[in-house]
Amino acid sequence: MSTADHPLPVPMQTEILALAKAELRPRGAAIAALRLVQARFRWISTPHLREVARLLDMSPDDLDGIATYYNLLFRKPVGHHVILLCDSVSCWIMGRERLCAHLRETLGIRPGETTPDGAITLLPTVCIGHCDHAPAMLVDESLHGDVDVKHLDRITDSLRESHR
């Protein structure tokens, strides 16, 4: 994760400044800017947070108050892939607990943790609006519905494959 300490790439800095300019006040771009950093580095390290704060004319404390508020902004390193397994009511009714148990077993991690090889982070998430295909999950940016154990295995295998 050494990249987390690197300065933000110049084009990204430019992009953040442009986002800030498009808002009435620079801070209006706070969430968009943090998402941008996360999209590139997978999480928001403290040095990066400080740089974004500087670009947005905010204090790091102020910005970190925002970063720690929103649960999809990661202030700790995550794996190469993030599985967001829905834990809301329709998916729960449709058996998401079993899927979670299965992932715990096959990946050897609990929700909130990352596999030791850094490939996969498992996180619970609130309803992702796919309740008619519960249980559902997001793997990085792709949506999966009607998930069963077989489906899960296929996905985790391919994630590990791509990581290697």
Alpha carbon distance 51, 148 (integer Å)? 42
- Which residue bears the tokens 């209006």? 28
Stretch that binds other proteins, among 5-13, 99-107, 110-118, 134-142 (CB under 8 A): 134-142
Q: Residues 10, 132, 150, 161: which binds other proteins (CB under 8 A)?
A: 132
- Give the residue with the Cβ less far from other proteins, 34 or 152: 34
Least distance in angstroms from the C-beta of 61 to other proteins: 4
Torsion of CA 17, 19, 23, 29, to 10 degrees: -100
Report which of 128, 132, 138 is spatially closest to residue 93, judged by C-alpha positions.
132
Least distance in angstroms from the C-beta of 117 to other proteins: 25
CA distances from 29 to 90, 122, 132 (A): 34, 28, 34
Least distance in angstroms from the C-beta of 147 to other proteins: 14
Q: Residues 42, 48, 81, 130: which binds other proteins (CB under 8 A)?
A: 130
Q: CB under 8 Å to 61, separation ≥6 — which residues?
A: none
Alpha carbon distance 107, 102 (integer Å)? 8
Contacts (CB under 8 A) with other proteins, residues 8-37: 22-32, 34-35
Contacts (CB under 8 A) with other proteins, residues 100-119: none
Q: Is 126 in the site for other proteins (CB under 8 A)?
A: yes
Stretch that binds other proteins, among 8-16, 87-95, 107-115, 155-163 (CB under 8 A): 87-95
Write the DSSP string, 45-57: -HHHHHHHHHHTT
> Which residues contact other proteins (rule: CB under 8 A)?
22-32, 34-35, 46, 49, 56, 58-62, 64-66, 68-73, 84, 87-90, 92-95, 97-98, 125-134, 138, 141-143
